[in-house]
């Protein structure tokens, strides 16, 4: 087995919590860690109280039938914090999700993703402390195909 590309570290962004950082220099375009969790049906998502807008959640829209609930202790990738100038991105194929570097990352640099929260939701609940130059002050998306869809319940109601 090769050495892991990441390690758990105190976060510079989320001062109260942990994040992941690069265990060595990582080239752009590297698959760093899988994003795992429970695959659940849209119906389970819809019927669960867990997926409301009151807290950040780790719910991904996989396809028209299934979501992935990454809010589980064995999903180390859930520790990755949001940054407005992220160096990683969620990638997916089929029912698999993983984290890819989109920039060259130096050893000990914190790994960050774009959480992809919508502008049109209650974005003020989620201030961003990433301190990057282009920080917009809140955790909202730029453009991301595999995004956390915390508005999912609302969307479902509209689409029925």
- In sequence order, the 6+-apart residues with CB closer than 8 A to the CB of 108 are 9, 21, 22
Pattern 45-84, Zn ion, x by CB under 5 A:
---------------------------------------x
Residue 129 beta carbon to Zn ion: minimum distance, rounded to whole angstroms: 7
Does 140 sit near Zn ion (CB under 5 A)? no
Q: Which residue has the tokens 């669960």?
A: 48
Q: How many residues bind Zn ion (CB under 5 A)?
A: 4
Closer Cβ to Zn ion, 45 or 81, answer by number: 81
Pattern 101-130, Zn ion, x by CB under 5 A:
---------------------------x-x
Residue 86: closest CA among 136, 51, 44: 136
Q: Which residue has the tokens 């752009």?
A: 28
Find residue 100's DSSP bridge partners: 31, 89
Length of the chain: 160
Residue 57: closest CA among 41, 68, 46: 68
Closer Cβ to Zn ion, 5 or 20, answer by number: 20
Closer Cβ to Zn ion, 50 or 131, answer by number: 131
């Amino acid at each position: 087995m090769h050495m892991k590309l990441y390690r758990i570290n105190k976060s510079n962004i989320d001062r109260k919590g942990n994040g992941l950082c690069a265990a060595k220099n990582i080239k752009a375009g590297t698959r760093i860690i899988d994003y795992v969790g429970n695959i659940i049906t849209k119906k389970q998502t819809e019927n669960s109280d867990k997926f409301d807008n009151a807290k950040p959640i780790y719910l991904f829209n996989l396809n028209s039938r299934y979501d992935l609930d990454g809010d589980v202790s064995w999903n180390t990738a859930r520790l990755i914090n949001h940054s407005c100038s992220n160096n990683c991105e969620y990638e997916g194929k089929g029912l698999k999700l993983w984290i890819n570097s989109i920039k060259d990352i130096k050893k000990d640099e914190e790994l960050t993703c774009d959480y992809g929260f919508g502008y049109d939701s209650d974005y003020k609940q989620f201030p961003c402390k990433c301190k990057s130059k282009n920080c917009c002050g809140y955790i909202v998306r730029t453009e991301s195909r595999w995004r956390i869809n915390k508005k999912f319940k609302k969307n479902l109601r509209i689409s029925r």
